[in-house]
Amino acid sequence: MPWVFVLIWSTGFIVARYGMPHAPPFKFLAVRYALSILCFLPWIWLARVRWPLNRAQWGHLAVTGILMHAGYLGGVWAAVKAGMGSGLSSLIVGLQPVLTAVWLSSTGGHVTRSQWLGLLMGFTGLVLVVSRKFGAGGPGDQANWINLALAVGALFSITVGTLYQKRFVAPCDVRSANAVQLGAALLVTLPLALGEGEAMRWNGELAGAMAWSVLGLTLGGSSLLYMLIQRGAAASVTSLMYLVPPCTALLAWLLFSEPITAVTLAGTALTAFGVALVVRPAR
């Protein structure tokens, strides 16, 4: 399950490359959430899936949906649309495992020395992997206070959402849980989408990006992330995010012929070894 999740989640940056030039971020995400809900509802009805049992669980799922869908995805996509390059945005969001471990340690959670070492090695490898991306976009690859605030907001949003889900969301079927989360995300995103002046320009690239966003990233990737958080330790689950940029680099090489340098390979190896230290079970 973790490796399938990493592979699917890595395609998010590929989707952004195809879809971002043809649509504003919040309109794209609002359509994505709506179509995803329309896919989940018949599945829930046909499989007779149970919905959350009480209002408290509906509320907790709504909070995680706003944080992990609307906040995280909205922040990253808006930051890239505002001129931030993929390298810097990946690096900022890549701080999530470290931020999660710091929070767990400060609240009495257990993070071992080997896990701290793995987190440090993983982040160092992440820096090496994305280092080639810095400045690669020219004038469109610049940081300013607006896109920095959006990216940092996305980082805190997914970190808090992960910890909140692990703490408050009771185990329930991933399909009904995802439908509730997406409904809450849609309610938050829709007003922002209606306020965007740019229209969606439908073509083959945008349609393909939307289809994979719904079927692969939301129905597949988000569902896997939900199950991983329910079943695993928060520090171990978030450390998997370190593997996303190396996997994305491999996909970009296959799809767009972007070169893979020796630094990228070294960073990938270091990241993989660091994640292994974090997720391996204690003796």
| Residue 218 contacts residue 178 (beta carbons within 8 Å) | yes
> What's the pLDDT score for residue 139?
44
pTM given for the model: 0.81
Lookup: tokens for 111:
């993070």
The mean pLDDT of 90-94, rounded to a whole number, is 74
Whether the CB-CB separation of 32 and 213 falls below 8 Å is answered with yes
Backbone angles phi and psi of 19, in degrees to 5: -90, -30
> pLDDT digit string (tens) for 134-171?
655 544 456 677 888 898 899 899 889 988 988 888 88
Predicted confidence (pLDDT) per residue in 246-267, tens digit: 777 777 777 767 677 787 778 7
Chain segment 108-140, per-residue pLDDT in tens: 666 677 777 877 887 787 777 767 666 555 444
DSSP annotation of 258 reads -
At residue 138, the pLDDT reads 47
pLDDT of residue 134: 60
In degrees, to the nearest 5, what angle opens at C-alpha 25 toward C-alphas 24 and 27?
A: 70
Judged against a pLDDT cut of 70, whether residue 75 lies above it is answered with yes
Give yes or no for residue 36 having a pLDDT over 80: yes
Residue 209 makes CB contacts below 8 A (sequence gap 6+) with 15, 16, 18, 19
Q: For residue 12, name the pLDDT band (cuts at 50, 70, 90).
A: confident
Using CA atoms, how far apart are residues 159 and 167, in angstroms rounded to an integer? 12
The dihedral formed by the CA atoms of 107, 108, 111 and 112, expressed in degrees to the nearest 10: 150
At 186 the pLDDT is 96
The residue among 236 and 53 whose pLDDT is bigger is 53
DSSP state of 215: I
Q: Are 40 and 219 in contact (CB under 8 A)?
A: yes
The beta-strand segments (E) located in 75-229 are none
User: Worst-scoring range by mean pLDDT, 84-88, 90-94, 145-149, 152-156?
Assistant: 84-88
CA distance 211 to 199: 18
The pLDDT score that the predictor gives to residue 281 is: 55
Q: Does residue 253 contact residue 259 with C-beta atoms inside 8 Å?
A: yes
Res 2 pLDDT > 80: no
Is 268 strand, coil or helix? Answer: helix
Number of H helices, E strands in the chain: 14, 0
* Confidence at residue 34, expressed as pLDDT on a 0 to 100 scale: 96
